Amino acid sequence: MENFSAYNPTRIQFGKNCINSLGADASVYGKKALILIGKGSVKKNGILDQVYRQLSAAGIAHELFEGIKSNPEYQDADAAVARARAFGADMIIAVGGGSVIDTAKAVCAGFYANHSVWEFYQGKGLKPDNALPLLVVLTLAATGTEMNRFTVLQDTANAHKRGWGHELLYPKISYLDPVFTMSVPADYTAYGVADLMAHTFELFFSTDESPLSDHLATDIIKLAMQYGPVAVSDPNDYDARANILWLSTVALNGSLNAGKRNGDFGVHSFEHVLSVLYDIPHGAGLSIVYPAWMRHFKSQIGQKLDFMAERVLGDGKTGDDFILALEAFYDQIGTPKRLQQWNIGGNEHARILAALESNKVRGTYFNMTAADYQALLALMA
């Protein structure tokens, strides 16, 4: 078990009507809030109106910045920074899923910077000196960004997608009301389940040994496979929605990293190439890559795969059994497991290979070379 430092300053408000403290909570941070949203679903389902009422009752002026894409681009974050400065914002409030929250984190850091937010993501070692406080009203169970310091944006024109993290990017408070996820369509609910499972896999397949973290990881996978199909098939099942929502948060809030140096995150890096090239939803891309990655690296992860199988499926089950069960689960909830299901044919492999090299996709513990890229693509076809 490795040495580790545990730190997470984000306060979680979880459950029905937890947003009712938003106005009072936001008052601590100032009197002007810039609200970021996606393409407008929170307008249609009434969630944004609830945010407005809370802020107005607390005397907090607010402006809206909308149109954040599902695979968010740094240009929108730069535009929101300019809007926040013009408004004189004291805080940013993200109302939406991971894309909106990741963009909001960039805006919080970019507010005090004298350069594009993209420079934070380019590996130049730039760090913010300050950041606006961020409050989150979560509407999608998926990324876990509501309780961590990481953010992912992309430069679509150059086919680059980058992650970045900093202590200043932890949200101050995140509001997790399972009811707010009930209007999410079945396909995006399923993509969120695949995403939370991928985060769990990334940390589980570290080569470091941390028994408690590994047991917790297998429990998250088992519960996701229990509650995921219910959440997808019955959007109004509060218990299923609540459990998936909390599983997605715990999967990437640092709990699974305790006792380990890091997760592998090679699969995430590989999938980022698919999403920047084809605008595929992140969770859908992950469900395509992960079975192939498990098969390709089975000689190196076999013992851990067997442990996952026994913990999730029962005594006597093997890693091969788990991969098959995982693919069957993806079929059950309606996420793809092959590139052809997203109309990405073999004629696209050269383009994907070039982007994998350009983005320097590697993996922390399980290095990927050009030969690995080709083998993985063959398994994903």
Confidence of residue 237 (pLDDT cuts 50, 70, 90): very high
What's the CA gap between 275 and 373, in Å, rounded? 16
Q: What is the pLDDT of residue 252?
A: 96
Are 171 and 249 members of one domain? no
Domain that holds residue 104: 11-180
Report whether pLDDT(354) > 90.
yes
Are 171 and 234 members of one domain? no
Are 245 and 310 members of one domain? yes
Report whether pLDDT(125) > 90.
no
Are 149 and 209 members of one domain? no
Q: What is the pLDDT of residue 380?
A: 97
Q: What is the pLDDT of residue 168?
A: 98
Give the C-alpha distances (Å, rounded to integers) separating 368 from 36, 99, 197, 202, 290. 36, 27, 21, 15, 14
Of the candidates 152, 41, 139, the one whose C-alpha atom is nearest the C-alpha of residue 93 is: 139
Of the candidates 234, 241, 239, 286, the one whose C-alpha atom is nearest the C-alpha of residue 265 is: 286
Are 257 and 359 members of one domain? yes
Confidence of residue 123 (pLDDT cuts 50, 70, 90): confident
Q: What is the pLDDT of residue 36?
A: 98
CB 176 within 8 A of CB 13: yes
Q: What is the pLDDT of residue 124?
A: 82
Residue after which a domain boundary falls, among 146, 163, 180: 180
The pair of three-digit structure tokens given for residue 303, joined into one six-digit string: 């013992």
Are 120 and 199 members of one domain? no
134-186 tens-digit pLDDT: 999 999 999 999 999 999 999 999 999 999 999 999 999 999 999 999 999 99
- Mean pLDDT, rounded, for 344-360: 95
Strand partners, 136: 94, 174
C-alpha count within 13 angstroms, C-beta hemisphere, residue 171 = 31
What's the CA gap between 310 and 330, in Å, rounded? 19
Are 52 and 109 members of one domain? yes
What's the CA gap between 178 and 182, in Å, rounded? 7
**Could you give the percent of the chain with pLDDT greater than 70?**
100
**Residue type, position 365, single letter:** Y
On whether residue 321 sits in a domain, the answer given is yes
**Residue type, position 213, single letter:** S
What's the CA gap between 196 and 22, in Å, rounded? 26
On whether residue 214 sits in a domain, the answer given is yes
What's the CA gap between 272 and 279, in Å, rounded? 10
Confidence of residue 102 (pLDDT cuts 50, 70, 90): very high
DSSP 155-176: EGGGTEEEEEE-GGGS-SEEEE
Of the candidates 186, 207, 323, the one whose C-alpha atom is nearest the C-alpha of residue 263 is: 207
- State the total domains in the chain: 2
- Mean pLDDT, rounded, for 34-61: 96
Residue after which a domain boundary falls, among 127, 147, 180: 180
On whether residue 314 sits in a domain, the answer given is yes
Q: What is the pLDDT of residue 199?
A: 97
Residue spans of alpha helices (H) in 72-131 = 74-87, 98-110, 118-121
On whether residue 4 sits in a domain, the answer given is no
On whether residue 2 sits in a domain, the answer given is no
What's the CA gap between 267 and 288, in Å, rounded? 10
Are 45 and 173 members of one domain? yes
Q: What dihedral angle (degrees, nearest 10) is formed by the CA atoms of 82, 83, 89, 91?
A: -90
Q: In which element (H, E) is residue 62 found?
A: strand 61-65
Window from 174-178, 243-247, 361-365 with minimum mean pLDDT = 361-365
On whether residue 1 sits in a domain, the answer given is no
Strand partners, 91: 33
On whether residue 63 sits in a domain, the answer given is yes
The pair of three-digit structure tokens given for residue 100, joined into one six-digit string: 């909106």
Residue located via tokens 């002026």: 61
Q: Reduce the DSSP state of residue 281 to 3 states and report it.
A: coil
**Could you give the percent of the chain with pLDDT greater than 90?**
98
Regarding predicted confidence, which is higher, 22 or 124? 22
What's the CA gap between 139 and 47, in Å, rounded? 9
Strand partners, 63: 34
Are 95 and 156 members of one domain? yes
Q: What is the pLDDT of residue 156?
A: 95
**Residue type, position 349, single letter:** H
Of the candidates 73, 102, 105, the one whose C-alpha atom is nearest the C-alpha of residue 91 is: 105
> Residue 154: what are its φ and ψ, rounded to 5°?
-135, 155
On whether residue 6 sits in a domain, the answer given is no
Are 278 and 260 members of one domain? yes
Q: Identify the CATH number of the domain in which residue 73 sits.
A: 3.40.50.1970
DSSP class of 71: S
Are 124 and 172 members of one domain? yes
Are 247 and 376 members of one domain? yes
Q: Identify the CATH number of the domain in which residue 270 sits.
A: 1.20.1090.10
Q: What is the pLDDT of residue 339?
A: 98
Residue after which a domain boundary falls, among 180, 198, 225: 180
Q: What is the mean pLDDT of the chain?
A: 97
DSSP 259-270: TSS----HHHHH
> Residue 67: what are its φ and ψ, rounded to 5°?
105, 15
276-287 tens-digit pLDDT: 999 999 999 999
